[in-house]
Amino acid sequence: MSGNKNRIEFLRPNIESAALWLLAKDQILEIADENTPNRLLFNALAFYSLGRWLNNSECKATGINFANNAISKKHPDGYFLEAGGWDSSYQGVGIHFGFNLYTLLPDTEILQTALWDCLCCATDWQKSRVLASGEISTQGNIRVYPGGEEFLGNEKRVAWIDTMTGFFMMAYLTNDSSYSTKANEIKEFCD
């Protein structure tokens, strides 16, 4: 075993204890994150990947529950409802976490189809928010826009790396170069 793998395996009992503690707190996360689908997808990815690594079916089931909650927050137009509206910054974050989760799911997992359909629609909506210049439009955003939310005294900025990564993942999974073209436009604008 490599040195890093040995260190991680050494920590396994502590990680298993932490997983049990997190499972006991999942209702708190559900309530706290119920109006933020990007966090629901983050929770889904965290629980599912932890469950897969630990071979813990309860962790995996909790992850799937969080993912289903996030999917239920998608508006028919394609955007995730963030605090009652849309937000092109958090949309990119949600897409990124969603694709990371999708790549972990086995073909036998029922969630895989629903998540794929959700992410395709969500990614297309996000693509419509990218201006010809490569800038991700914040017009109409509910949270991240000039004069919008702050974090630690600093105005939040668009999470362009998450959108770019989500587009690259969509391009790879669909073999549709229009997504990688958009991703590269975003990179050129933001670099």
With residue 19 as reference, give the H or E element that holds it: helix 3-24
CA 127/CA 122 separation, integer angstroms:
9
For the stretch 83-118, pLDDT in tens is 889 999 999 999 999 999 999 999 999 999 999 999
Name the token pair of 30.
Answer: 């559900």
Is pLDDT at 12 greater than 90 in this prediction? no
For the stretch 125-142, pLDDT in tens is 999 999 999 999 999 999
Residue spans of the domains in the chain: they are 3-190
CA 70/CA 80 separation, integer angstroms:
8
For the stretch 17-76, pLDDT in tens is 999 999 999 999 999 999 999 999 999 999 999 999 999 999 999 999 999 999 999 999
Q: What region, left, alpha or beta, does residue 137 occupy, with left being phi > 0 and alpha being psi -120 to 50 degrees?
A: beta
Q: Which one, of 70, 84, 83, 174, lies nearest residue 127 by Cα?
A: 174
First to last CA, the chain: 39
Q: Which one, of 182, 184, 41, 44, lies nearest residue 123 by Cα?
A: 182
Q: Is 85 helix (H, G, I), strand (E, B) or coil?
A: strand
With residue 8 as reference, give the H or E element that holds it: helix 3-24
Q: How many CA atoms lie within 13 A of 34 on its CB side?
A: 6
Q: Which one, of 186, 23, 24, 19, lies nearest residue 95 by Cα?
A: 186
For the stretch 147-176, pLDDT in tens is 998 999 999 999 999 999 999 999 999 999
